[in-house]
Amino acid sequence: MTQTLAHPANADIQSALEEARADFVRRNPKSQKLHEEACASLPGGNTRTVLFYGPFPVTMVKAAGANLWDADGRKYIDFLNEYTAGIYGHSHPVIRKAIDQALDEGINRGAHNQLEGKLASIIVARFPSIELVRFTNSGTEANLMAITVARHFTGRKKVMVFEGGYHGGVFTFADGNNPVNGPFDFVIAPYNDAAGTKKLIQENAKDLAVVAIEPMQGGGGCIAADESFLRMLREETQKVGALLLFDEVMTSRLSPGGIQAKYGITPDLTSLGKYIGGGMSFGAFGGRADIMSRFDPRRADALPHAGTFNNNILTMSAGVAGMTQLYTPEAATKLNAFGDRLRARLNAITKDKGLNMQFTGIGSMLCVHFARGEIKSSRDAKKGNKDLGELFFLDLLTRGIYIARRGMMALSLPLTDADGDALVAAVEEFVETRKRLLQ
């Protein structure tokens, strides 16, 4: 059920925001109650920081296809899709069938199974940089292992990352080196600044083990790296003997073979994430055979790599089904073309009116920014109006559209043209209703 707002308070952003917050509280009493109950045993009622927002988060109680339902009975079109992990939508019958079969055959085997090699072969065939691959339980673990093997392989200690970058729970760089980050010797470089980054690579050449980059920063606001910037990184890392790691946990969905295939730039290592495991708990890291063979247990000097559920049968089953039957190369091309068309339609709404609002991204990932001018880095993104971002989020909830509080969207296979039209209509209504605030 959607609801049209009256919007009497548009004289200024704060008045509009206060009204929207009050309306949100009135409409979501059951979510509020569930949040208050959770606060008794979870800090802030939360166990995953990105999902929290004030005055309290909506609690979703059901999901199917491209839709969600909240505790107060409202239905939403899901344009977030688990921050890219939910590319198949909710409870896709193909994924469900694979998981049901796995449950019937027993899941905690404590042994090799018949599917891990098959999923690995699919990944190796799909992504140009990956000659050998190992599985983990999350993108965070994948990046931890990839960085660790890079340091071991090169015999060096320093790890270059980028402002605004996100490589998992212990590798976050939105505001410099986060206190919860892993204790590595990080060099934090400016994203999309070729001259500044090249200088830092040269200054740290003797100690630099690896340069880790998202070819498009997802959590940072769907900010794409320039192709020329990525090529510079490839050239400069090779010159100084450092490895190049593409974190494609999110961006691997943006073409049949990820950004590396889209641009024809082959890193030494690649990390991957949950949609490749059918949307289950999953991560993977892979790359050149001479690097990844360090984990070969047949070697006397093999590196250990533990993880009870690295090859868990539920994920292996869902991953094989998803990658062979659903997110085929043809499906990847189609979904990303849909995303490019949708982003163009949204930007046409704001560009024609010269408003302080724009949508960035590539293919099936996009993010709204309330800022003018080109957005090439997190520094540019931080110039955006955060209050307008919150107002947009709350207004879209009222119209039955679910996105990330920070404005990010990730498309899924079950979304239809009609769903895209609904998003466009909601943005058009927001722009018309709030246009005085967007000037």
Active-site residue list:
166, 247, 274
Q: How far is CA 365 from CA 241, 318, 361, 404, in A?
A: 33, 22, 6, 12
Number of H helices, E strands in the chain: 14, 16
Reduced to 3 states, what is the DSSP secondary structure of residue 341?
A: helix
Please report the beta strands in 266-347, taking only residues with DSSP state E, as ranges in sequence order: 269-272, 283-287
Distance, CA of 216 to CA of 274 (rounded, Å):
17
Nearest partner of 334 among 425, 250, 219, 416, judged by Cα: 416
- CB neighbours of 429 closer than 8 A, spacing ≥ 6? 4, 399
How far is residue 82's CA from residue 88's CA, in Å, rounded to a whole number?
Answer: 10
C-alpha torsion angle, residues 302, 308, 310, 311 (rounded to 10): 110
CB atoms within 10 A of CB 341: 12
Is 185 in contact with 174 (CB distance < 8 Å)? no
C-beta separation of 373 from 382 below 8 A: no
Q: Which two tokens stand for residue 436?
A: 């005085």
And the tokens for 202? 């040269």
Dihedral of the alpha carbons of 314, 136, 44, 369, in degrees to the nearest 10 = -100
Please say whether the beta carbons of 213 and 247 come within 8 A. Answer: yes
Which helix (H) or strand (E) element contains residue 305?
A: none
- Rounded CA separation 382/221 (Å): 10
Query: Would you say 171 and 181 are in contact if contact means Cβ atoms under 8 Å apart?
Result: yes
Residues 6+ apart with CB under 8 A from 219: 50, 83, 166, 172, 174, 406, 408
In whole angstroms, give the CA distance from residue 265 to residue 33: 50
Environment class of residue 387 by beta-carbon count within 10 Å: exposed (0-12), middle (13-18) or buried (19+)? middle
